[in-house]
Amino acid sequence: MKEFELIKHFFTEQNVKRKDVLQGIGDDCAVIASTENQNIVVTTDTLVAGVHFPLETSARAIGHKAVAVNLSDIAAMGAKPSWISLAITLPDIDNAWLTEFCAGVFELCEYYNVELIGGDTTQGPLSITITAQGLIPEGKYLSRSGAKAGDWLYVTGEIGDAALALQHINNEVTLEQDFIEPIQNKLDYPKPRVLAGQALREYASAAIDISDGLLADLGHICQASNVGANIVLDAIPLSQILRDSLFFDDAIKLALNGGDDYELLFTISEDNKVGMETALTNVGIQCTCIGQINATQTISTTLNNKPVPISSSGFEHFSEK
Ligand code: ADP
Ligand code: MG
């Protein structure tokens, strides 16, 4: 199969057809109708085999994750995802692999009405770059820089399971047989908090998605907002599996430093707390208050109401290991 046949066969066969896409895949550029009173948010994320996912990851999971990590960024801005483009580098043309990969990509696209509008296909070591775009009412986007001393710190969902899955893959932990599949799914099929992000638009003072680890990503909010924070370690929502698999200290360390959770971390003023909790309940998303923003410019942690030191920050590329 040649490049053009491949594109036609795999990437043009999608069920999402948006009215605002005037020209999709097939010309030199995609053409999108501009929308009045809306801002467009744009983000790009690359997944490199062996770096961002283990080499043995299934093609469907890779497709899902490549879209999910981008939609997670869109969610963190409070926007509604609308279009993606896909630059893929493939070692060879493997029909079965591509079929599964596309299933993973298009499942999420269909769920959120996101159209694949173009891309690029090249040969080389497996790598996937997706650019996603989304719409948001003018000026309403959530940023990292709006947190104020006194705001409450919240996360959606549960933290640390994806990092536990990685430990399992790397033989650093022995999991009960029943835990392996659900934990593996948390790593392979992260759920971008798209509806939660939009629900938070009216309430949150700052937001970020947790990709590099809770501590590192909270650090980004604090730096951008020029504030500090205290995390109440006993309040961090951990899954039952994580609690049952590790000692509490180790579970908390994973939750603080592990990555790939793709939950939202956000700050809320006292006045917006009740509205936010109702809005998230309405979209069926659990959230937990895990601390408070302060004016110290540092991140501290407490356990049983007592201060405890924190050792290392989250996963960073190019950091010395
Ligand atoms: P050009 O040479 O003009 O850049 P290409 O030959 O690379 O165009 O691609 C032809 C069409 O197929 C373009 O519309 C491009 O956006 C689309 N396309 C190429 N690769 C992909 C892909 N992996 N996913 C989606 N669309 C793709
Ligand atoms: Mg061209």
The tens digit of pLDDT for each residue in 46-79 reads: 999 999 998 999 999 999 999 999 999 999 999 9
Ligand nearest to the CA of 11: 1
The pLDDT assigned to 318 comes to: 42
Between CA 116 and CA 94 the distance in angstroms is 21
Instruction: Mark which of 113, 137, 161 sits at the end of a domain.
Output: 137
Same domain, 161 and 300: yes
Q: Closest by alpha carbon to 119, among 93, 84, 92?
A: 84
Q: Which atom of ligand 1 lies closest to the CA of 29?
A: 14
Same domain, 167 and 302: yes
Our measurement of the distance from residue 179's CA atom to the centroid of its chain's CA atoms, rounded to an integer in Å, reads 22
Same-domain status, 304 and 156: yes
- Residue 300, classed as helix, strand or coil, is strand
On whether residue 102 sits in a domain, the answer given is: yes
CATH number assigned to the domain comprising residue 162: 3.90.650.10
CA 27–ligand 2 middle distance (angstroms): 7
By residue count, the chain amounts to 321
Cα of 22 to ligand 2 centre, how many Å?
17
- Report the nearest-CA residue for atom 7 of ligand 1: 120
Alpha-carbon torsion angle 180, 303, 217, 157, nearest 10 = 50
Task: Please say which residue of 137, 167, 190 terminates a domain.
Answer: 137
Question: How many angstroms separate the CA atoms of 69 and 84, rounded?
Answer: 12
- Indicate whether 10 pLDDT > 50: yes
Average pLDDT over residues 175-199: 97
Instruction: State the Cα–Cα distance between residues 314 and 256, nearest whole angstrom.
Output: 7
Query: Number of C-alpha atoms within 13 angstroms, CB side, residue 279?
Result: 17
The whole-chain average pLDDT of the chain stands at: 94
pLDDT tens-digit profile of 133-145? 999 999 999 999 9
Separation CA 283–CA 58 (nearest Å) = 30
Ligand found nearest the CA of 24: 1
The binding-site residues of ligand 1, defined as CB within 6 angstroms of any ligand atom, are 7, 11, 25-28, 86, 88, 116, 118-121
Using one digit for the tens of pLDDT, what is the confidence trace for 292-308? Answer: 999 998 999 999 999 99
Supply the residue whose CA is at minimum distance from atom 3 of ligand 1.
28
Pairwise CA distance, residues 192 & 114, whole Å: 13
Same domain, 224 and 105: no
Amino acid at 116: L
Last residue of a domain, one of 137, 160, 184: 137
H runs (alpha helix) in the chain = 3-6, 59-76, 95-112, 161-169, 177-188, 194-200, 214-225, 240-245, 248-257, 273-282
Say whether both 59 and 160 belong to one domain: no
80 in any annotated domain: yes
Residue nearest to atom 24 of ligand 1 (CA): 119
Q: How confident is the model at residue 311 (pLDDT cuts 50, 70, 90)?
A: low
What pLDDT, on the 0 to 100 scale, is given for residue 118?
Answer: 97
Question: How many angstroms does the Cα of residue 209 sit away from the middle of ligand 1?
Answer: 30
Position 142 in a domain = no
**76 CA → ligand 2 middle, Å:** 33
Is the per-residue pLDDT at 1 higher than 90? no
Which position has the higher pLDDT, 314 or 81?
81
For residues 32 and 87, the answer to whether their CB atoms sit within 8 Å is no
CA 101, 106, 112, 118 dihedral sign is positive
Nearest CA to ligand 1 atom 10: 26
Q: What is the pLDDT of residue 130?
A: 98
Report which protein residue has its CA nearest ligand 1's atom 22.
119
Does 186 have pLDDT greater than 70? yes
| Structural domain span for residue 112 | 3-137
Q: Ligand 1 pocket: which of 27, 121, 127 to mutate (most atoms <8 Å of CB)? A: 121
| Residue 9 CA to ligand 2 centre (angstroms) | 19
| Count of the separate structural domains present in the chain | 2
Residue 205, token pair as written in the block: 């003072």
Q: What is the mean pLDDT of residues 217-228?
A: 97
Checking if the pLDDT of 321 tops 50, the result is no
Residue 3's pLDDT is: 83
pLDDT value, residue 316? 42
101 and 191 belong to one structural domain:
no
Q: Is pLDDT above 90 for 192?
A: yes
Whether residues 195 and 128 share a domain: the answer is: no
